[in-house]
Chains A and B, each alone.
Chain A
Amino acid sequence: MTQVQTEKLQTLREAMQAARNDAHPESYLIGILHKVQEIFGYLPREMMDEVAQTLEIPTAHIWGVATFYHYFNLEPIGRYVVSVCMGTACYVKGAAGVLETLKKELGVEVGKTTSDGLFTLQEARCLGACGIAPVMMIGEKIYGQLDSKKTIDIINQYRKAAAEEKSAVGAEARRGKP
């Protein structure tokens, strides 16, 4: 776990203690699950147990909630989450084509992560950028007016950035060793 993650986990635990003392601890559950996902990218089993114990809510209930809402991931996700908007405006402007391109280019189905752990492909409902449909979101960045060429170009940019970062880290590590 990184330093940042550890710190965030600490604040999360404090938030859970605060929630315990509220008249309605359960009303903080979804907010807490959001924080867990923010730290880990998904909801790890052990964390759900911890939330259950602290808030005194049955794990089964938490599991039920986690599976009901689309936003929660129950499996680890890739470094970049690629969400293709399948909202009405994007649909009318050809979002299905963008999704097909991505499935082919990344070689994964919706909801799955590429074997190199770089990309997770997801569908989204209206990203609120209907004016520049069709749209996809990578991380928190929105890309609009997509066609298949543009989509592939964008994916390649991310691949390149990741590769450069890796070689930079590698070089640093080598330099670090005497």
Chain B
Amino acid sequence: MSDKQYKLTFCDGSGCLKNQAREFRRVFEEELQRQQLQQNVQMHLSGCLGMCGKGPILIVNPGYIMYGHLRLEDASEIVREHLVNGRPVSRLIIQEDHLYNRFFRIFGDSEFFGRQMRIALRNCGVIDPEKIDDYLAMRGYEALAKVLTEMTPQQVIEEVKKSGLRGRGGAGFPTGLKWEYTAKQSDPEKYVICNADEGDPGAFMDRSAIEGDPHTVLEGMIIGGYAIGSRQGIIYIRAEYPLAVQRLKKAIEDARREGFLGERILGTDFSFDIRICLGAGAFVCGEETALIYSIEGARGMPRPRPPYPSVSGLFGKPTLINNVETWANIPVIIIDGADWFSRIGTATSKGTKVFALAGKVRNTGLVETPMGTTLRDIVFGIGGGIPNGKKFKAVQTGGPSGGCLPEQYLDTQIDYESLAKAGSIMGSGGMIVIDEDSCMVRMARFFVEFTQDESCGKCTPCREGTKRMLEILTRITRGQGRPGDIEKLERLGTMIQKASLCGLGQSAPNPVLSTLRNFREEYEEHIHQKKCRSHECTALLTYVVQDNCVGCGACKRVCPVNAVSGNRKEKHTIDPKLCIKCGQCYDACKFNAIAKV
């Protein structure tokens, strides 16, 4: 990559920063200067390395030598001994081999990956997902062996509880507690379900996790089955993900062959098997009670809870249902321990979260960071900011159940509580960046159109309420908004939130209410001044030719309705009465002489 002799990675996570990591780095750099070594090394910052108890941390490559507990006076010794004399300072080296470390060893020195921390996705991109041997080489199924030979179900549950892991499917319910409730039920027939329905339109974490490392999910589920006393697991996955389904099928076959699934796993008395059920394109089936109906071969319509699935779920039996990412965390918690895991993250949210970063941002893709990372770090650090010199407007988290957060919330720490307080939700991990070219009223309308379409129709507030909201939003974007519409939206929104049967309806107004809170002036402009500042609402814009028109006639030629007139080499004009706002003239003009106003 470069002719630099050493690559130095300094942990820049909040745990290390508390331990004077920045000061250490400064002293270190001074020392490099003194020894005139700046040219020989390349320095990187990384996100939290998960060793917060041992900070500040420095990793030196080649060799992947990891130093910890560094004090300011250690800097000169490392520079002199290791970088100059080539002798690593053994008294400062810490031996840590957390599972996710291998990922960091391979990808850790790139800007995009170096700032991440990969637990759920630790093997994605590192192993061949279709080879069980690759997974085994990464300590795969070691957690299962440990659980079956050394731990009682009760101990497994205690460990998961102690880790502080919370559900990654959206609601953030403490996973250990859920396991405990399900384990307590006396019914001998119980089920374990993996929710891989991933309905948020703009998110692909679960898909990538399965495609990149299917065995982790299986291993998590088998451990869950052991903990609650179940013999049968089911993965409910979207039919839109054929590759993920194929890899899961292969993984299940391989795991059966190797004795990790099926009768008498690893020679113990514990038997467990997994079956795949396909979804069929209904967002609401991500909701757990609807999902269960769908597996039972019925229409996926939620029912009121309680009883919760942990008491009465699939076929009326106690059922443990967790999200893909939740399952993927389990093997790591078992191997590396709850103590290690619970050091990562914030007081109430432990571990990492995977986000699907997309929209108007330079680097799109999957990002896994410790809880507590700020939105700014993700959008502008890992994501590299907004392309094409545009201005940031908002970041949308939580998909159709979430909200849009503007600039002033960028320093919000990502955890369940902080995001909720800021007026959005963690959700399952969709994160869409929006720039100044997007109209927030349309954005809200987009999500309501989605939820309205996906509403199962069982309860009236959701079925009718979302329809009315959509009508109002549509008329506002068409320039037919009326005074009082904003208040109507607020009233309707609150009513739908309170009165709907399931999470779909209860959260459907969130995109509207959050944009009303944070971008109210855009609604007001649409309604009162008939203006859309992003020029996205075509009904509210006019195309005008400006003075820098050279009269080339390109616009005139493409106009399908002959609305453009003017002589060659003279400024043209557009007749707003004829113009159908197709925008072809705007695209055709090579001189940027046509403006939207």
Q: Which residues of A contact B (CB under 8 A)?
A: 24, 26-31, 33-34, 57, 61, 64-65, 68-72, 86-93, 124-131, 133, 140
Contacts and interface: CB of A to CB of B under 8 A. Distances in A.
A130 B297 contact: no
A128 B207 contact: yes
A88 B204 contact: no
Contact of B201 (A24, A72, A125): A125
B202 A26 contact: no
B315 A88 contact: no
Interface residues of B, number: 44
B364 A64 contact: no
Contacts of B443: 92
B50 interface: no
Contact of A128 (B204, B279, B283, B450): B204
Interface stretch (B92-100, B238-246, B521-529): B238-246
B181 interface: no
Interface centre among B199, B240, B241, B396 (most CB of A within 10 A): B240
B201 A57 contact: no
28 contacts: A27-B297, A29-B297, A34-B239, A34-B278, A61-B298, A68-B299, A70-B282, A71-B279, A87-B202, A88-B201, A88-B358, A88-B432, A89-B202, A89-B364, A90-B202, A92-B360, A93-B359, A93-B360, A125-B240, A126-B203, A127-B240, A128-B204, A128-B240, A130-B204, A130-B359, A131-B364, A131-B365, A133-B358
A31 B277 contact: yes
Contact of B358 (A24, A30, A124, A131): A131
Given A26-B297, A30-B297, A130 B356 contact: yes
Contact of A88 (B208, B282, B396): B396
A71 B360 CA distance: 29
Nearest to A92: B359
A71 B279 CA distance: 9
B281 interface: yes
Contacts of A64: 299
B296 A26 contact: yes
B356 A71 contact: no
A57 to B, nearest CB: 7
B202 A65 contact: no
Contacts of A71: 239-240, 279-281
Nearest to B207: A128
Nearest to B236: A30
A88 B430 contact: yes
B281 A69 contact: yes
A89 B282 contact: no
Given A26-B297, A30-B297, A133-B358, A87 B201 contact: yes
